[in-house]
Amino acid sequence: MPKFKAYLPYLAIAIGLLGIGLVCGILASIIVVQLNRPPSPTLTPTSTLTPTPTLTPTPIPTLASPTLPPEFYCVPRTHFQEASAIVVLDGDTIDVNIQGKTYRVRYIGIDAPERDEQFFQEATQANASLVLDKKLFLFKDVSETDSYGRLLRYVFADGVFVNYALVRNGYARAYTYPPDVSCADLFLGAERRAREENLGLWGQPTPTPSTRCDPSYPDVCIPPPPPDLDCKDIPYRRFRVLPPDPHHFDADGDGIGCER
C-alpha cells in the first residue's frame, strides 16, 4: 500500500495528460471539419422591382350605324359617314361638311332636272327642304367617287332616305348606273308609282313636239342634222338618247347624251 501511494502523483499526471490529449483531439477534429466545409455563398441583396403601371388605352369613339327601315335594306351599311349639308346645288347634288372638310356629293341612283330643264327649281327646293339643317348619314355603294370627283352616296337626313324621297315624289328620275345599283329596283318602283300618280315632274304638261325636234332626243328639243351638232353646240346635258342618235351625243352608248 505504501508503494501504491508513492505512484499516485505519477498516475494523476498521466490522467491529466490523457485528458489534455483528448481535448486537443476533439478541437483538431472540429478545426478539420470547419476547414473542409464549403464556403457559404455571398448573398447579394435583391433589388426591389417597381411594378410597371398598366396603361389603359383611351377608347376611340365609334359612330353607331343608324337604324334603317326594312324597306331600305338595299343600302349597304359597311361604310358610312356623318355629315351636314352646306349648299344645295340642284335636286341630286349637295356640298357637305365631313369632319371640317367640304366635299361634293352626288346622289346614287337618281337624276334630277338640270338648271336649263323644266322643274329644276322645284327639285332643288325639295332637296334643300330634305337636307338643310339636318344630320346626314352618307352611305357608299361600290364606287367612292364619280368621274368628276364627287362622292357617290345614298343620303339619309333625320331618318328620311333622300334619294328615294326625291324619286317617289316626282322630283327626280330613277337613274341606273353600274356598278352602284344596290337600290336600283327600289328607285324604279318609286318612279313608276310617281308616274302613275302624276307627281312632280310627271304631272307637268307634255310639250308639243316640234317638227324641228329630233325624236332621238325625246326629253329635249334638238333639231336633226344638218348641221351636225356637238355637245358644245347645245345647252343640254345628261339627256336621254334613243337610236339612231344622228348627232352622236351618246359616245359611250349608255343612253345618256353629253354627260360631261
Annotated domain spans of the chain: 70-203, 206-260
CA distances from 224 to 57, 156, 185 (A): 70, 42, 34
Q: Which amino acid, 125?
A: Q
Rounded to an integer, the average pLDDT of 146-167 is 95
CATH of 70-203, one of 2.40.50.90, 3.40.50.620, 2.60.120.380, 3.40.220.10: 2.40.50.90
Specify whether 238 is catalytic. no
The C-alpha cell that represents 35 in the structure block: 476547414
Task: Determine whether 72 is exposed, middle or buried from the number of CB atoms within 10 Å of its CB (0-12, 13-18, 19+).
Answer: middle
**Going by C-beta distance under 8 Å and a sequence separation of 6 or more, which residues neighbour residue 132?**
85, 88
The C-alpha cell that represents 62 in the structure block: 365609334
Q: Which of 106, 153, 168, 173 is catalytic?
A: 106
Flag whether the pTM goes above 0.85.
no
CA atoms of 23 and 18, how far apart (whole Å): 9
What pLDDT score does 90 carry? 95
The larger pLDDT score, comparing residue 25 to residue 134, is at: 134
What pLDDT score does 72 carry? 83
What pLDDT score does 56 carry? 47
Contact of 170 with 196, CB cutoff 8 Å:
no
What pLDDT score does 67 carry? 66
pLDDT value at 17 more than 90: no
CB neighbours (10 Å) of residue 236?
A: 17
Specify whether 114 is catalytic. yes
CA atoms of 132 and 96, how far apart (whole Å): 10
Specify whether 150 is catalytic. yes
How long, in residues, is the chain? 260
pLDDT value at 58 more than 60: no
Q: Which of 77, 104, 150, 193 is catalytic?
A: 150
Counting Cα atoms < 13 Å in the Cβ hemisphere of 14 gives 5
